[in-house]
Structure 1
Amino acid sequence: MSAKTSLSNRVNIGFALFIVFLLVFATNRLDQRHFNTVQDTLTTIYSDRVVAQDYVYKMSNVMCKKHLKILDASLVYSQSNLNKEFAALIDVFSTTKFTSRELRTFEELKENFNALLQLESKSTTLIDQDQQVLLIDAIKTDLNNLSLIQVSESKYKVGVAQRSLDTKNLMSTLEIVFLVIIGFTVQFALFYRVKKSMTRGKNQ
């Protein structure tokens, strides 16, 4: 009877340890997934939102200078150099990751800028300054919309990261509770079998 009890206890302990191993392994995989989610979110917020917002700010600054140049021709910077600077910013901005709404706004921005370039390619005396100002205002509107998108997307990404962290915290709590339950279950099973074995031994 003692040998059978000992074998049974070993089986129970082995089974309990196997369950614990599976629990730890599964939790580790979940933790890794949540870690990757948070890491990807932080990388995306910086490379595709913070950096993009900086590009939008610089492009807005260029358009403000172009507008001021129309109002005051004596300013030192030229429309041509400002256009080159804006075009370079468009190129680097295009390397960031776009949402579908952001892509549409960006395409509108490029169309308005190209229209502005065509207008300004005419002889200075033939340029319609009112139309020039209207196109600059349209570009400013596009840039403002892009700026708002950066903010909303950053907020969304932060929410994703926070939900992932909340899930991880919940899983960690459940893991502890499950381990405690397994511990009590194993102890109960072992003590119950030992007590039952001793009772049978006395009865025999």
Structure 2
Amino acid sequence: MTTFNKIRWVASILLVFFIVLITNLIDKDNFNRLEYSVTTIYEDRIVASDLLFEISMWIQEKEVAVVSADSLFFEEENNKTNLDIDGLIQRYEQTMLTKKEQLIFNNLKEELSNLRELEKEYTHSETRETNHILKSLDEISQHLYDLSKVQLKEGRRQMFISNQAMDTIALFTQIEIVFLVLMAILIQIIIMYKPKGN
């Protein structure tokens, strides 16, 4: 075998090696994107939606207590309810927030703080004025609704990213199969080929 043929064989083998290596790295990147997307959908969207649902349940309970003038709720249960809401808020803060989501979430926290002040006034007041509390509860409900819409939009976006990654993986898998078939045919031709002079 001449030196030129040896160089040609080494170059061919290196080419195959680099093609396999590059497709492997692309596949690994796509798998990482897919894994991140699925994890994000669960941890930052489904869990966050559940937290928002639980907060809204507590807010509805407060609203019922205000509308029904349930002073016993504010004397005995409201502090525990506020602690439960605080715990849910802290857990929600640990999820990955988009810029828009962070803005709405900050507004929610401010309105919750405002509600606490109004509740103190309400429990210490003889007149039991409810308009301000009901308005605050409506604001909080609107923020929770807006946050739930962000969850839906971001979940949809993450699904799109994961679908793109799966499509890319499928495409490269097909390309790899075609490449391997072509390489097998080429190797067969090289093995079976007999020059005319031999």
Interval containing the TM-score (normalised by the shorter chain)? 0.7 to 0.9
Question: Which residue in the other structure is 2:78 paired with?
Answer: 79
Instruction: For 1:17-166, list aligned pairs within 5 A.
Output: 17-72=13-68, 73=70, 78-122=77-121, 123-125=124-126, 127-166=128-167
Give 1:152 shift: 1.3
The CA deviation at 1:187 is 4.6
Give the C-alpha shift of residue 21 in structure 1. Answer: 1.6
2: CA distance, partners of 1:95 / 1:127? 37
Change (3 A) 1:127 1:106: farther
User: Pairwise CA RMSD of aligned residues?
Assistant: 2.3
Whole-angstrom CA distance in 1 between matches of 2:184 and 2:11: 12
Three-state SS of the structure 1 residue aligned to 2:174 is: helix
Identity across matched positions, percent:
27
Q: 1:187 to 1:9 in 2, by over 3 A?
A: farther
Measured after TM superposition, the shift of residue 80 of structure 1 is: 2.6
- TM-score scaled by length of structure 2: 0.86
SS in 1 for 2:54: helix
Residue 164 of structure 1, CA deviation: 0.4
Structure-2 separation of matches of 1:80 and 1:74: 13
What's the secondary structure of 1:121's corresponding residue? helix
**Alignment check: 8 A CA contact 1:16 1:186 kept:** no
CA distance in 2, matches of 1:83, 1:125: 22
Aligned-residue offset at 1:128: 2.8
Give the AA of the match of 1:32: K
Q: Is the partner of 2:126 in helix, strand or coil?
A: helix
What is the CA–CA distance in structure 1 between the aligned matches of 2:16 and 2:98, rounded to whole Å? 43
C-alpha displacement at 1:179, in angstroms? 2.7
Q: Distance in 2 between matches of 1:124 and 1:43?
A: 48
- Alignment-mate amino acid for residue 161 of structure 2: V
Q: Across the two proteins, how many residue pairs are aligned to each other? A: 193
Per-residue CA distance 1:52-101 (angstroms, 9 max, x = gap): 11110110000000001112217756333222221221111111110001
